[in-house]
Amino acid sequence: MEEEHEKRRTSVTIYGQQYTIVGQENPEQVKKVAELVDRKMRELKSKNPYLDSNKLAVLTAVNIGNDYLSLLKSDKEEKDGD
């Protein structure tokens, strides 16, 4: 997903800011992802009120990236266990 001219364009609002997400994913999936990012940003902000919005966004990416790599790892372990 990028901010470029490609297939589908979906407008979403994340942390009060509007983004046009361009990519091959269907708008429903894009909206789910945007909701996830928005929710994680608000959770992190409530726990760390002094974080500026840039660090907040980076740490949100770290947070989601952690969930992603953990899931990848458990998938791999499951497969290796077969």
C-alpha 25/C-alpha 29 separation (Å) is 6
C-alpha 34/C-alpha 19 separation (Å) is 9
Answer yes or no whether residue 59 interacts with a copy of itself by CB under 8 A: yes
Q: Which residue in 8, 11, 42, 58 binds a copy of itself (CB under 8 A)?
A: 58
Q: Contact 30/20 with Cβ under 8 angstroms?
A: no
C-alpha 55/C-alpha 53 separation (Å) is 6
Answer yes or no whether residue 4 interacts with a copy of itself by CB under 8 A: yes
Closer of 9 and 51 to a copy of itself (Cβ): 51
**Site of interaction with a copy of itself (CB under 8 A):** 1-4, 14-15, 17, 19, 21, 23, 25, 29-30, 32-34, 36-37, 40-41, 44, 47-48, 51, 53-55, 57-72, 75
